[in-house]
Amino acid sequence: EAGVTQSPTHLIKTRGQQATLRCSPISGHTSVYWYQQALGLGLQFLLWYDEGEERNRGNFPPRFSGRQFPNYSSELNVNALELEDSALYLCASSLYDQGPWDGYTFGSGTRLTVV
Amino acid sequence: AQKVTQAQTEISVVEKEDVTLDCVYETRDTTYYLFWYKQPPSGELVFLIRRNSFDEQNEISGRYSWNFQKSTSSFNFTITASQVVDSAVYFCALSEAWNRDDKIIFGKGTRLHILP
């Protein structure tokens, strides 16, 4: 069974540009979560999608947005990139009715570097 | 408020030594779940264990053991006879069970170096 896959592995962007990160959940999982792992800050919750809808959002500005497609894959978009957006972005998936109680399955992440 | 504190930012031990990673949590709920994840250099978080708030029994899995104490709001992780492959960042995490819309909150992680 394929795990959670993320693409690209690495992404280098210039300040002010837009970045698009992609995530494919484990087959059968409908919930997708995005976390930001910036240096020294641990994992910060960004977004949660389930059945195509945004279900919860962390304390991030509106330029962080995303969507979930009918096949449950997801995109994270970061507009007007700032240097402090440089981080590892991790995607995780779960079944809806297990989510926060059973734990998530994570992908390997996308390393975003803003220069 | 929901919070996880891992006071140890970085630990280095020599191979075969035992090491304990500390985790202290705060929650308003009586029903909650605690987790430990391992993040090797590849970046992917690997699930290690889940414990619910009603089960204070300690758990052992090979060289790994976990000590859950509600009285001190701690969920510590011990690696016995450490190996170089144990080098990674370890995250403690918490979720409250009263609201499905809630999410897992992570600590800042402890970077563990096992020296050969």
- Give the closest-approach CA distance of B74 to chain A in angstroms: 18
Interface probe for A, chosen from B39, B45, B90, B95 (most Cβ of A below 10 Å), is B45
Alpha helices (H) along chain A: 99-102
Q: What is the chain B residue with the closest CA to A33?
A: B103
User: Is residue B75 pLDDT above 70, yes or no?
Assistant: yes
Contact criterion met (CB < 8 Å) for A41 and B106? no
User: Is B98 in contact with B29 (CB distance < 8 Å)?
Assistant: yes
Give per-residue pLDDT as tens, A27-41.
999 999 999 999 877
Alpha carbon distance A39, B12 (integer Å): 19
A1 versus B72: the higher-pLDDT residue is B72
B101 versus A5: the higher-pLDDT residue is A5
Give per-residue pLDDT as tens, B21-44.
999 999 988 889 999 999 998 888
Give per-residue pLDDT as tens, A38-97.
987 789 999 999 999 999 999 999 999 999 999 999 999 999 999 999 999 999 999 877
